[in-house]
Amino acid sequence: MRPASNIPETPQPPYPLIQKSHIVCGFGRGSSELGIPTANIPINDSLNQLDTGIYFGWCKLEVNKEECSKKVERGDGNVVEFNNGSELSASEKDVLPMVMSIGWNPFYDNKEKAAEVHIMHKFQQNFYGSLISYSILGYIRPELNYTTKEALIEDINLDIKIALDTLKKESYANSDL
């Protein structure tokens, strides 16, 4: 059973936590297995200091002009071409709501810690290699294990609802991005 999320009326320190990173590829499981794509972010010192679990906030994508186009073999064996965000439309570069998972994905028993952002927006194309600025505004719950994939998907959808409901509030509207 997931614990209740006691989200305060306004963001409390250490939030907002603002960072910028580039997007890497993982196993490709988010979209193919769960139908919930996640933009994976390399773990750094400050992400490592956070409790593992599910967070929410805002993010903003940006073309990564420094990066040249490359093809990378993803964890599932598929080769993905990095477009570095060059295909993003103007509205896809707006500030968008997100949920973020940091940890070991107990359901998949990952050997490496991962940080992944699901953006609540339907994108026309992937954006591997682009830059992402994000502002974490709160914590929803710890990572859990599940007996079925459907139960994991259901909980992720509840996280998305909690995030969107909270981000509607005036006190959570400012992304600082």
| Closer by beta carbon to ligand ADP, 37 or else 53 | 37
Cβ(62)–Cβ(41) below 8 Å: no
The nearer residue to Mg ion, 56 or 172, going by C-beta atoms, is 56
Phi and psi torsions of 174, nearest 5°: -85, 115
**Per-residue tokens: 5:** 């999320």
Q: Does 103 bind ligand ADP (CB under 6 A)?
A: no
Contact region for ligand RBF (CB under 6 A) — 3-11, 23-31, 57-65, 88-96?
A: 23-31
Tell me how far apart the alpha carbons of residues 111 and 108 are, in angstroms, rounded to a whole number.
9
CA distance 139 to 44: 18
Residue 114 in contact with ligand ADP, rule: CB under 6 A: no
- With CB under 6 A as the contact rule, the residue among 24, 67, 143, 153 that binds ligand RBF is 143
CA 59 to chain centre: 9
- Binding to ligand RBF (CB under 6 A) within 34-73 occurs at 34, 36, 38, 54
Q: Is 101 in the site for ligand RBF (CB under 6 A)?
A: yes
Q: How many residues does the chain have?
A: 177
Is 116 catalytic? The answer is yes
- Give me the residue whose beta carbon is nearest to ligand ADP: 30
Residue 108 binds ligand RBF (CB under 6 A)? yes
DSSP one-letter code for 133? E
- Just list the catalytic residues: 116
